[in-house]
Each structure stands twice: as structure tokens, then as C-alpha cells.
Amino acid sequence: MILLSLYGLIIVAAICLFFFFAKTSVKLTCFAIDFVAVFIYTIYLLHGPVSSKISSGNMIYFWDVLFGFALVVVYGFLMLLLTIYLPKVSKIINFVIVYFGVWIGICLATDFITSLFSIFNSNIVATYRLQFLNNDLANDVFYYVLFFFVSIPVWKKRMDYLVGEQS
């Protein structure tokens, strides 16, 4: 009986951990996809030419992460300056960033949910896009409109955060 309850507890903990990772990654892609991209591209671009030249062994990865965080801070500072001095341009740029972030976030959330459902039901195939309409073009347009409408509150929240009106 104890083994069975322990097994059930492990299953519940695994599902909770799965939902935590799913929720965190979707929020991260929706609100901060540009910061994640700056971090990843910095590591990718500076690994060979810079990090491997100034260090060796596993310390190369330390420098990669350090440069990544430093560039994320610089990028965040530049975004704040853009928001302060060119607010209209900042709103447009941030909406485009949020739109792509929501695009990736919705596809990621759909993939997480369908892959979880596919574990329990073998008839469901894990996919990042659901087919809402029979016509593929109409389905694409539906998704673009959905991304647009979901992007609006995310964009407003991001702009409030950049302006300094966190709630």
C-alpha cells in the first residue's frame, strides 16, 4: 500500500513538474523571447572566436554564460533607453517581438498539451498546431489572428513593465 501511494505521489509530482516547465517556458517565450535569443546567439557567436581563446576546458562555458548575461543586460538597457527616448518606435518594435514570442509560445503550449494527452490516449498525436478549420490557408489566417489578439495583452503587460508600472 505504501509503495502504491509512493508511486501515485511520484506520478503527481512528475505531472506538476511537467506543468511547471510548460508554464515557465511558455511565459518566457511570450514575454522575453528577445532576451532568450540574445543570450543564445551571444553564446553561439562568441564561443569559438572569444571564449575558446581566453580559456580552456570547462571554463569556456563559464565565459559563454557570462558574456550571454552581460549582453542580455546591455540589450535590456538599450530597450529601456528606446522606451524612454523613442516611445512610439519602442511600442512597434516590442509588439513585433511579442507577436513572435506569442507565436512560439502558443505552438509550444499546444505541443506540451498534445504530448501530455498522447501519453494517456494513443489516438492523439503530439503536434504544435491544431487543425481548427478544414482549409489550410483559413487555418493559417485563424492562427495569425489568434496570435494577434493574444499578443495585445502580453504587449501591454510588457510595455507596463518596461515603463516601470509593474503591478
Average pLDDT, whole number, for the chain? 86
pLDDT tier, 118 (very low <50, low <70, confident <90, very high otherwise): confident
Q: Average the pLDDT over 73-91 and give the result.
A: 90
In three state form, how does the secondary structure of the chain look? CHHHHHHHHHHHHHHHHHHHHHHHHHHHHHHHHHHHHHHHHHHHHHHHHHHHHHCCCCHHHHHHHHHHHHHHHHHHHHHHHHHHHCHHHHHHHHHHHHHHHHHHHHHHHHHHHHHHHHHHCCCCCCCCCCCCCCCHHHHHHHHHHHHHHHHHHHHHHHHHHHHCCCC
Is 157 inside a domain boundary?
yes
Domain residue limits at 128? 24-163
Q: Give the pLDDT score at 166.
A: 52
Is 39 inside a domain boundary?
yes
Q: Give the pLDDT score at 109.
A: 83
Is 17 inside a domain boundary?
no
pLDDT tier, 51 (very low <50, low <70, confident <90, very high otherwise): confident
Is 103 inside a domain boundary?
yes
Is 70 inside a domain boundary?
yes
pLDDT in tens, 141-166: 999 999 999 999 888 888 887 777 65
Q: Average the pLDDT over 131-138 and give the result.
A: 90
Q: Give the pLDDT score at 164.
A: 76
Please say if the pLDDT value at position 115 is more than 80: yes
Please say if the pLDDT value at position 96 is more than 80: yes
Is 29 inside a domain boundary?
yes
What pTM, to 2 d.p., does this model score?
0.73
Q: Give the pLDDT score at 105.
A: 84
Please say if the pLDDT value at position 28 is more than 60: yes
Q: Give the pLDDT score at 73.
A: 94
Number of independent structural domains in the chain: 1
Is 2 inside a domain boundary?
no
Q: Average the pLDDT over 56-74 and give the result.
A: 91
Is 18 inside a domain boundary?
no
